[in-house]
Chain A
Amino acid sequence: TQLLEQSPQFLSIQEGENLTVYCNSSSVFSSLQWYRQEPGEGPVLLVTVVTGGEVKKLKRLTFQFGDARKDSSLHITAAQPGDTGLYLCAGDAGNMLTFGGGTRLMVKP
């Protein structure tokens, strides 16, 4: 079983602060995805990174795929209350995605 570990598990910050969420594995993935999930809903895709070292930006969110395609990070600049939610990374292992345990982010106004 390919494991993905996310850290931190919980994060509570004030509006305007920056934060980074990490997703680590000992396995190599063909791609890695980040999803955001709000209470009572299914996860929704934020971004897919495919190439080792790739950096993608989505407004205030910056995603990076490790050079060896084993890890990824999500950096949020100037967090807002609307960023509150559960952030999940998922590694593509061919026929299935393996999900990390998630990082629950709360941004206080």
Chain B
Amino acid sequence: NAGVTQTPKFHILKIGQSMTLQCTQDMNHNYMYWYRQDPGMGLKLIYYSVGAGITDKGEVPNGYNVSRSTTEDFPLRLELAAPSQTSVYFCASSQQGTGANVLTFGAGSRLTVL
């Protein structure tokens, strides 16, 4: 089972450029999340989705956009990249309604903005 797959694993952007981080899950989970993790720190929630067509802001949504057109995919778009967006981005999914909200994470996408 693939679980949660993120692409790309590494990317370098110039200031002001835009890009999309891809995330797909094959577990038919209804909830999906994007977190960012700065060096040596915990995870901060950027956006989340409780199902196809529904998205909500997390703690740090500024500078990002998301969409959820299918259950499987939850891309994260960076518009006008800034050095402050240099981070490791993790996508995660969970199946709500079956007890505690347990997340399955992807391997991460390391983004550098120069």
Chain A residues contacting B4 (CB-CB under 8 Å) are 42
In the assembled complex, A58 has its CB within 8 A of some CB on chain B: no
Q: Give the bracket for the number of chain A residues in contact with chain B.
A: 20 to 34
Q: Mark A47-91, 1 if CB is under 8 A from B, else 0.
A: 010100000000000000000000000000000000000101010
Contact of B101 among A86, A92, A104 (CB under 8 A): A92
Q: Mark B91-106, 1 if CB is under 8 A from A, else 0.
A: 0100010011111011
Q: Are B107 and A101 in contact (CB under 8 A)?
A: no
CA A99 – CA B101 in complex, angstroms? 13
Chain A residues contacting B44 (CB-CB under 8 Å) are 99
Chain B residue, CB-CB nearest to A32:
B100
Q: Are B106 and A42 in contact (CB under 8 A)?
A: yes
Q: Give the bracket for the number of chain B residues in contact with chain A.
A: 20 to 34
Chain B residues contacting A44 (CB-CB under 8 Å) are 105
Q: Are B43 and A99 in contact (CB under 8 A)?
A: yes
Chain B residues contacting A98 (CB-CB under 8 Å) are 45
Q: Are A45 and B108 in contact (CB under 8 A)?
A: no
Q: Are B107 and A41 in contact (CB under 8 A)?
A: yes
Chain A residues contacting B107 (CB-CB under 8 Å) are 40-42
Known contacts A42-B92, A101-B42, A104-B40; is-contact A92 B100 (Cβ 8 Å): yes
A interface residues, Cβ below 8 angstroms from B: 1, 6, 30-31, 33, 40-45, 48, 50, 86, 88, 90, 92, 95-102, 104
